[in-house]
Structure 1
Amino acid sequence: MESKPAVNRLTLQVNGTDYEVEAPPSLRLLQVIRDHLGLTGTKRSCEIGRCGACMVLADGEPVNACLTMAYQVQGKAITTIEGLSAGEGEELHPVQRAFLEEGGFQCGYCTPGMVLSTKALLDRNPEPTEEEIEEALSGNLCRCTGYGGIKRAVRRAIELGR
C-alpha cells in the first residue's frame, strides 16, 4: 500500500492578493511563485542562493525564493517584481524607472532581484553610502553589466526618492 505525500494548505499573500496553495512541506517559494501563480519575473537560476535572480521581498526584506520554503512565508506579505508598480498600465516604481533611465541592465535576467534589493535598501535607508549600496546588492550576481549601470540606477533612484 503506497502512502500519499503530506500536503499542506497554505495561504500566501503575494503582491497584495491572497492565494491558497496545496503544497508538500518541501515546496519552495520559488516553485509557488512561478509554477503555481504564474509570476515569471522571479527567475530560477542557481537554486542555491548565490545569484539573487529569485529575490523577492518578504515583509519588505529581501529573501531568496529558491532557499525559502513556502510554509515559511505564510502570514507574510510577499512582493515580486510584478507587484512593485501600482498595477497593469500604471506608472513604474521609481526604482524601476531609474533602472530604465540609467541602463541598469543588459540581458535583464538579474534585474528583478536587483530592483527589489534596491527597493529594500532605500526603504531602510533613503541616503545610503556607496559601501551600503554595494552591501545591499552583494546577494545579486550580474554577469553582463559590470555593475556600472546598476550603481548609476541606484543613485538615480535615490535622487527620484528625494
Structure 2
Amino acid sequence: MAYHRSVQLIGIAIVGANGVIGDGAHQPFEIPEDWARFKRVTSGHPLIMGRRTHEAIARWLPHRTTIVVTTRPESVELPDGERARGMAVSGVDEAIDAALRLDRVVYVAGGGTIYRQAWDRLTNLDLTEVHATAPGTVFFPQIDPAQWLEVSREPHDGFDFVGYRRISS
C-alpha cells in the first residue's frame, strides 16, 4: 500500500546477526544505548506491538500511545495515567489505521508475527543490528536489497544503528 510521502510506518527492532529477535517471551540483547535510542525516537509517536511483546515489556511506555494487537483486546488492561496511553485491537491493519489517525509517524515494535503482518505496509526500518548471534525462535523478516535501501549506519562497539527506506513494494 502506498502512503503519502509524509507518512512513515517504521519497523523498529534489535536484531542478532542470525536474524533472531527473541524466544517468544524475551529479546536476547539488553543494550542500554539501544533502549535509550528506542525511547528517544519513539517518544511522542504511536507504537504498535503484539500482546507478547507488550507483556515482555511489562508496562505501558510513557509519552506515546501503545497499540497492542491481540485476538482478545478486551483482556488487555489499559493504562489509567496521563503519562502513557494505550489501546488494544484485534488486527495489525486496525492498529495501523488507528495509529495513523494519531500521527503520521508510527513505529511497529514486534514481535515476529506483527512485523510479518505489517511488512508490506512499512516504509522504513530502524534497526539495531547486533554483531553477535542469539538463541531464539523468533526472527525479523529478511531484508531484500531489491526492496530496501540502507540510508544510515551508526557503528558502535558490538552493534550498529541502521536505517533503511523502502525502494519498491
Question: TM-score, normalized by length of structure 1?
Answer: 0.26
Question: TM-score, normalized by length of structure 2?
Answer: 0.25
Higher relative contact order (CA 8 A, sep 6+): 2
* Higher normalized strand content (fraction of residues): 2
* Higher normalized helix content (fraction of residues): 1
When Rg is computed on C-alpha atoms for both structures, the one with the higher figure is 1
